[in-house]
Amino acid sequence: MCAIWLKKARPPSREAEQDLREGVSLMLSILEAEREDAALRYARQFDRWEGDIVVPAEALAEAGARVSDALKRDIVFAHDNIRRFAEAQLATIGETEVEIVPGLIAGQRQIPVGTAGAYVPGGRYAHVASAVMTITTAKVAGVSHVTACSPPSTPQGIPPEILYAMHVCGADTVLNLGGVQAIAAMAFGLFDTPPADILVGPGNAYVAEAKRALYGRCGIDMVAGPTDALVVADRGADPEIVAADLVGQAEHGFNSPVWLVTDHRPLADTVLRLVPAMIDALPEPNRASAEAAWRDHGEVVLCTDREDMARVSDGYAPEHLQVQAADLDWWLRRLSVYGSLFLGEETTVAMGDKASGPNHVLPTSGAARYTGGLSVHKFLKTVTWQRATREGMRPVAEATARISRLEGMEGHARSAEIRLRKFFDEA
């Protein structure tokens, strides 16, 4: 492999990570001990919210009256696409049983978790799409109760657009809460909600750390870091489209990495020239976020050929991977390390983020090496069962006794042998 970094990211700083963990841990301890009182106090402190925490059902149903018809159509369109894709995923998951040996039958069931907590980011951006992605997928999987939380960022609480999306997607309870207090409320079952079996949805560093700290007590979709995106582009790619896609992802936040991998130096040079100008044309605060992300985390890599490009891409293990290159089928077969793949210039991460169907809650920070994104699978428990006739269990019990005794586990051996003795009168 012979790759040249034409632009390199600055080394990361880890100084604030320990302070973050300690601060979130303290908040979670206080929230668990003081419950609603602490959540209300943090809501006043961090969200400047004095109103009701639980959104009344009638307010949720009436949110659409404060949303334009055009936006309602867009939300319903996105919901339908995401629902259909989730239903298609669900159709690929089956229950099964097999006769392992004569008389011994084992099987597999798919059981949805009972409750889920869906966090929908707010604040600088109103993340309507995150509500659709998380709540819809949980409901398609068969989750019976979904609690959704989002910061109350308007005088009325959660923005009406997010409330409408939550209502369309089937949220059972909605809480005017953001940050660590929202995650704790869902995990601990505050405000008369059932404790969540799993917590899902993107959020800032505090939300991500709260989910990480609670993992084990409940499930989580993943430990998420800043969103990232990589574009693979060859000489046939349109540099303006490539640059626009990089800038679009950089505006997520100051610490969102964006990377270009190409085998064509003129394309790289053109993109390096276009990106700063496109960033400068953004409104604030998007401009400042994108500028910092590109300056500190943007990289451009020049490779020798497409195999070299694929190896470099696999090394990044990007959350989002766009391919704007010839022979898309080759890339689909060759690439294997990514959260979600976007093939051709006719699709882009922005479409996947908002409305196209596959989920946008995806592995970051290289986690695509070992996991995929949010899907109906995350809300399902694959559990096993077995049943045997007495004749069917006989050889299994005999083998179990011998293996257990070899391992020094006498109690295991005897629990198998007691069946041989009682059922078959074996000594």
- Active-site residues, by number, are 319-320
- Concatenated DSSP letters for 151-179? ---BTTBS-HHHHHHHHHHT-SEEEE--H
| Token pair for 369 | 């090496």
Strands 145-150 and 115-119: what pairing?
parallel
d(CA 224, CA 15): 19
> What is the phi/psi pair of residue 112, to 5°?
-70, 150
| Token pair for 75 | 């939300």
The type of residue at 223 is: V
Chain position carrying tokens 């596959």: 358
| Token pair for 419 | 């069946």
Q: Are 397 and 115 in contact (CB under 8 A)?
A: no
How far, CA to CA in Å, does 188 sit from each of 59, 304, 306? 25, 53, 50
Tell me the three state secondary structure of residue 236: coil
Output the 3-class SS for 66-106: HCCHHHHHHHHHHHHHHHHHHHHHHHCCCCEEEEEECCEEE
d(CA 227, CA 249): 8
